[in-house]
Amino acid sequence: MDNIDRKILWHLQKNCRVSISDLGNLVGLSTSATHRRIGILEQEGVIEKYTAHLSGEKLGYSMIFYVEVSLENQSDKTLETFEKAALERPEVLECYLMTGSADYLVKVAAKNTKSYEQTYKRIIASLPHVSRIQSSLVMKTVKAWSGYSL
């Protein structure tokens, strides 16, 4: 990966809907050369997918919670069962296996505290092998994810 690839990736992180022609102009390549490089980056798995970043707040999700989840044990079967169940729940926005005091960090969005209470009871607490849950409410986003530093 060279500097031109990094420029392509930087621009795609900011706006993946930019036309290949405009992207080529931004990085100093022809449209066909830009298209070829994007194809290589996709084939190599550097570009995993293209998505729309939605506003949770405008969709009514005014609250974000990060939930630390500890399991009964850390056997491969227990971890696998928990992860499979978490993957099946659309309310689980993100889920990470962690080091530290909790086994997993789970991100969920809620419309209000009543909504989170229902998610907590019906979804998180009912995931298999859960032994402890610690929830933290995001009060303010200081810096949101905007892409990797390239």
Q: List, for residues 102-127, the tens digit of each pLDDT value.
A: 999 999 999 999 999 999 999 999 99
| CATH-assigned architecture of domain 63-137 | 2-Layer Sandwich (3.30)
Which residue intervals of the chain bear CATH 1.10.10.10?
3-43
Instruction: State the fold for domain 3-43.
Output: Arc Repressor Mutant, subunit A (1.10.10)
pTM score: 0.87
Domain boundaries for CATH 3.30.70.920 within the chain: 63-137
Tell me, what's the pLDDT at 10?
Answer: 96
Could you tell me the pLDDT band of residue 129, with boundaries at 50, 70 and 90?
Answer: very high
Please tell me the distance from the alpha carbon of residue 124 to that of residue 69, in angstroms, as a whole number. 8
Q: What is the pLDDT of residues 31-69, one digit of tens each?
A: 999 999 999 999 999 999 999 999 999 999 999 999 999
User: How many other C-beta atoms can be found within 10 angstroms of the C-beta atom of residue 81?
Assistant: 15
Tokens at residue 25, please? 């102009």
Other CB atoms closer than 10 Å to residue 33's CB: what's the count? Answer: 14
